[in-house]
Chains A and B, each alone.
Chain A
Amino acid sequence: DQQVKQNSPSLSVQEGRISILNCDYTNSMFDYFLWYKKYPAEGPTFLISISSIKDKNEDGRFTVFLNKSAKHLSLHIVPSQPGDSAVYFCAALLNDYKLSFGAGTTVTVRA
């Protein structure tokens, strides 16, 4: 049973515009959320995280928003760059160690 869901398998965005990736979760016990970026034939690379006690975390072009009441988080990338084309995974942490992943969203940034 998937407890972390990314309902958009793909997203296409023009260079310079904003990319918004969405993620929903079902387990209210998750206390830490992360976004990973993955290129083909490589491992997931950590992008940004947020604790459940916060509603926003920003790091350069990347901002993660958390809405606990809706069990929803989103990743904003602005401005989008061609190098951002990759698969983005949302992940949620339970009991400090157990990480559950969404299915991923493939982002394509058009020049």
Chain B
Amino acid sequence: DTAVSQTPKYLVTQMGNDKSIKCEQNLGHDTMYWYKQDSKKFLKIMFSYNNKELIINETVPNRFSPKSPDKAHLNLHINSLELGDSAVYFCASSQDLQQGASKTQYFGPGTRLLVL
């Protein structure tokens, strides 16, 4: 039973298109994240939502817009895709820290985006 799942696993698209990546967690966590792993393999945080509220918003082009319909889902919508957006995008989740729980973040399998 997958804890953090992402769809699609692979996404190949043309420059200029708009696409969405979906993420769902069944761990009952309150906080979700999006990370980008670039061609140099660095993993960098993009966004974080806690109970559907944005708490981290790194320096990311505003073509990227996260959407959290409920605390189990955090989707990533990307407008006007560019070649440089090609990367692996990872979703993650963690427990609500107010509950005194672990700070560990659990990751999904990744979505490999290729912009042509």
- Whether A43 sits at the interface, judged by CB under 8 Å, is yes
Q: Is the interface of A mostly helix, strand, loop or mixed?
A: strand
Q: How far is the CA of A32 from the CA of B108 in the complex (A)?
A: 21
Please list the residues of chain A having a beta carbon within 8 angstroms of any beta carbon in chain B: 2, 32, 34, 36, 41-46, 49, 87, 89, 93, 96-101, 103-104
Which of B40, B41, B45, B102 contacts A99, CB < 8 Å? B45
B64 within 8 Å of A by Cβ?
no
- Report the nearest B residue to A44, measured CB to CB: B107
Q: Tell me the nearest residue of chain A to B9, going by C-beta.
A: A41
> When A and B form their complex, which 4 residue pairs have the shortest distance between CB atoms, in order from nearest?
A43-B107, A101-B43, A44-B107, A43-B109
18 contacting pairs across A/B (C-beta < 8 A): A32-B103, A34-B104, A34-B105, A42-B109, A43-B92, A43-B107, A43-B110, A44-B43, A49-B102, A87-B41, A97-B48, A98-B48, A99-B33, A101-B43, A101-B44, A103-B41, A103-B42, A104-B41
- Add 16 more A-B contacts to A46-B105, A87-B41 (CB < 8 A): A34-B104, A34-B105, A42-B109, A42-B110, A46-B106, A49-B102, A49-B103, A89-B43, A93-B103, A96-B97, A97-B55, A97-B56, A98-B48, A98-B56, A100-B45, A103-B42
